[in-house]
């Protein structure tokens, strides 16, 4: 078993077009959710194709602190969880990711009470727990918020029928994790349907949960008294996949990704084609390179699945700086996702932010004052710079920008990147990028 040791700083020497194959790791947004789901049973569970990322180790540490046995075998890419000796419903302070709030449902099932610390994670906009709280209350829990975190008690969890105001991934996961062992039927309308959410539902089904996926974003869960352990190999990380494809396109190269199914990238592929990318797709992998006409501008708005996902957005902005003309990106999921743009401007990117909804239908941030639309002018010549990485997805976007730039860049805060991307240093170097870790 190995621990994640973040490297604080990278010095990047651009070398021109990035070329080669990249094996995509298991999904970051799935592995930790299945680890949490394993707490619903007293029997061991296993998660295969687990990525080597910081979030796995953070979650494993939290689970060990409440009595679960967790082994992270990076050689076999398996996380093994034995929750038989789970002994504490009080999760210690984390502040490093958003996983603790998802542990409330399983702990209520095991102990009738739970304390989970306030959410952490990336500073990309408010990610309130209001939907989580309402879901837990609807399912029979008494819930309160303190300065330290969420306190919940429930002598009896029961089914409920309700509709989410917004198809929140996290709130949908809370409902699945809590309703699986609640008495009676739960009907959740306007649920998130991202592939990562469906993978969690499939894992719960393997554990013995009775879950139906119905049309129009609806889950129906018939609660069962107990669940068993399960094993599941998770799918490839579609965010990592898109990110490396864009790295090749932005530098004028050709990257081929393997290990991420095409059906997880349908919207990504169609969007990149609109920008001038050409694809070679077969059962073994997906390759992308810029077509003979070059990159062209596009208007894109982020959305819940099956729309263009918000976590793809920072990489797309880098690509748009290399497309001839004006591109528009409208962020509809997080109100403060463009915080990374200031550093890009220092590198020479021409990006202006607006509080209006510049493309697509007006979103919930319309007329709120949040700068949630970007106008990107290309082609912009980027220059090397010294940059602090603010969050996971912006961190990868900065590496793409540094690979595209004229001159070396120094990127601080690489622990953000390593929290969400498996062996990014080795994968980038396999494509030809020169990276010198320091610090």
State the virtual CA torsion across 136, 138, 141, 143 in degrees, nearest 10. Answer: 60
In sequence order, which residues have a C-beta less than 8 Å from that of residue 30 and are 6 or more positions away? 196, 199, 200, 234, 235
How buried is residue 422: exposed, middle or buried, by Cβ count under 10 Å (0-12/13-18/19+)?
buried
In sequence order, which residues have a C-beta less than 8 Å from that of residue 112 and are 6 or more positions away? 89, 153, 154, 155
Q: What does the alpha-carbon distance between residue 418 and residue 395 come to, in Å, rounded to a whole number?
A: 9
In sequence order, which residues have a C-beta less than 8 Å from that of residue 283 and are 6 or more positions away? none
- In three-state secondary structure terms, 190 is coil
At residue 237, φ and ψ (nearest 5 deg) are -80, 110
**Residues designated as active site:** 122
Asked whether the CA dihedral 88, 94, 96, 100 is positive or negative, the reply is: positive
413: which 2 tokens?
A: 């805060």
């Amino acid at each position: 078993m190995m621990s994640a040791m973040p490297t604080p700083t990278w010095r990047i020497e651009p070398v021109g077009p990035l070329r080669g194959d990249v094996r995509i790791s298991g999904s970051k947004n799935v592995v930790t959710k299945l680890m949490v789901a394993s707490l619903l049973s007293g029997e061991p569970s296993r998660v295969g194709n687990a990525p080597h990322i910081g979030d796995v180790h953070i979650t494993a540490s939290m689970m060990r602190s409440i009595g679960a046995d967790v082994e992270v075998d990076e050689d076999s890419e398996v996380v093994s969880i034995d929750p038989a000796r789970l002994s504490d419903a009080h999760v210690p302070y984390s502040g490093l990711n958003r996983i603790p709030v998802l542990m409330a449902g399983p702990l209520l099932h095991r102990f009738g009470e739970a304390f989970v610390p306030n959410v952490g994670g990336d500073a990309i906009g408010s990610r309130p727990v209001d939907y989580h709280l309402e879901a837990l209350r609807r399912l029979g829990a008494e819930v309160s918020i303190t300065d330290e975190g969420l306190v919940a008690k429930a002598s009896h969890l029961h089914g409920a029928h309700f509709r989410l105001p917004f198809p929140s991934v996290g709130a949908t996961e809370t409902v699945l994790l809590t309703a699986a062992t609640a008495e009676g039927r739960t009907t959740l309308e306007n649920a998130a349907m991202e592939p990562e959410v469906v993978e969690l539902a499939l894992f719960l089904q393997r554990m013995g949960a009775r879950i139906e996926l119905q049309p129009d974003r609806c889950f129906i869960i018939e609660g069962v008294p107990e669940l068993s352990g399960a094993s599941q190999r998770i799918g490839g990380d579609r965010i990592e996949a898109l990110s490396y494809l864009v790295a090749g396109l932005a530098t004028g190269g050709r990257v081929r990704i393997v290990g991420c199914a095409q059906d997880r990238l349908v919207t990504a592929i169609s969007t990149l084609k609109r920008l001038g990318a050409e694809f070679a797709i077969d059962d073994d992998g997906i390759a992308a390179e810029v077509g003979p006409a070059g990159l062209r501008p596009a208007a894109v708005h982020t959305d819940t699945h099956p729309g263009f996902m918000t976590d793809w957005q920072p990489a797309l902005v880098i690509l748009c700086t290399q497309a001839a003309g004006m591109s528009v990106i409208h962020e509809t999921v997080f109100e403060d996702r463009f915080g990374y743009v200031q550093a890009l401007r220092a590198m020479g990117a021409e990006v202006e932010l607006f509080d209006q909804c510049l493309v697509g239908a007006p979103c919930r941030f319309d007329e709120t004052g949040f700068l949630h639309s970007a106008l990107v002018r290309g082609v912009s010549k980027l220059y090397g710079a010294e940059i602090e990485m603010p969050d996971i997805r912006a961190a990868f976007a900065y590496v793409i920008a540094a690979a595209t730039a004229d001159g070396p860049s120094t990127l601080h805060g690489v622990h953000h990147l390593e929290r969400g991307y498996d062996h990014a240093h080795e994968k980038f170097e396999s494509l030809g990028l020169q990276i010198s870790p320091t610090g």
